[in-house]
Amino acid sequence: MTRAAWKILLALLAALPAAGGCAPCPESLVPLDRLLDDYNANADAIPRLWARVEMSITLDTPESPAYTWRSGSPTCLVLLGKGPQRFGPHDFVLLGRETAAVELFRTGSSVRQGLYYVWYRFGRRGRAWTGRHGSVGVPGSMPLPIDPMQLLSILAVCPLPTEPGQLPAAVVGMQNTPGDCAYVVTVVDRQPVTQRLLLQREIFFRWSDAAPRQPYKINFLDDAGRRILTAHLKRYRPVDVSELDDPPKVPPVMPTDIEIVSNPFGGVEAFVRRIHLVLSEMTAEDKWDRSACDFRPPAGVGLTPVEPPPAPSGDGAAKGNAP
């Protein structure tokens, strides 16, 4: 084959990915520090949040077959008030309601109560779960339908860890699949009691020379490393921060079209099959009281503690504790 023919062949091969709609990944990279610094600068610019939400949720419960509820209009709310510790816990609630007076679903966290929780009530269907902040993820914990302590990451408004050599930590890998090129940031932390290192979630940032480096997908992992939930994040829009004492010159942004889908495994309950959220009117204005995030389940809903009951002490332990 002549040199001219080789050049033509190589040019054709180079054009194949573009012709097939899958552009090759960029050659340029940004270091993890810069990726996290840019993300955290945006997140830190949002100390609190109020947003309207149009929501649909599909439940598959022991009481009945799969059931989908849709709000039909942005009557639902997201509330966030960041706590004194940078990485949480925070006051937070995702509130599903049919009207301003009829609540059907809540998942959230209360700093004052030291609790995180989920509850729902759709007609005769109803259930509630609650756990303590200091015991998140202890061995033997009951899996939640949706974990509010990790749910906040879908809003892309809370910072990721950056301190070298400390936990929690964030590490980065690259996904170099043509057409789906990504920085994959994995959050790692210790499990209470066992102190084992566990992968908590995988956050996919755009790897592009043109598009903003923003999260577009998050995988949530259980203690066994299984990807139990996947969130898809789209339509980033600015948050109104004009009411802050020192608002940033460039308003921060957050995703406003979010879909969360469960990935059920054998032996693992998946009460929540799918949640779709469309956010609007996002503002950092201080227009709500933090008591709105308190755990107050409706009457008649069965309550399930998340943490396992304390193990009974044996004779030896009892003797050791005797005066």
Intervals of the chain under pLDDT 50: 9-10, 13, 15-20, 315-323
Q: How far is the C-alpha of 286 from the C-alpha of 50, rounded, in Å? A: 8
> Is residue 56, in this structure, part of any structural domain at all?
yes
- Would residue 181 count as lying in a domain? no
pLDDT for 62 equals 62
Q: How far is CA 271 from CA 69, 72, 78, 223, 249, in A?
A: 13, 22, 21, 18, 43
Long-range Cβ contact pairs of 107-113 (< 8 A, separation 24 or more): 107/146, 107/148, 107/151, 108/79, 108/148, 108/293, 108/295, 109/133, 109/148, 109/149, 109/293, 110/290, 110/293, 110/294, 110/295, 111/83, 111/290, 111/293, 112/290, 112/291, 112/294, 113/294, 113/295
| The pLDDT of residue 18 | 45
pLDDT of residue 120: 86
Task: For residue 231, give the nearest of 173, 158, 146 by alpha carbon.
Answer: 146
Residue at 17 is within a domain: no
pTM comes to 0.84
- The whole domain housing 55 covers 43-162+238-308
pLDDT the model gives residue 38? 96
Query: What pLDDT was estimated at residue 312?
Result: 58
Residue 310 has what pLDDT?
Answer: 63
Is residue 195 domain-resident? Answer: no
Residue 16 lies in a domain: no
**Per the structure, how many domains does the chain have?**
1
Question: What is the overall mean pLDDT for the chain?
Answer: 84
* Domain membership flag for residue 26: no
191, part of any domain: no
| pLDDT score of 73 | 81
pLDDT recorded at residue 195: 80
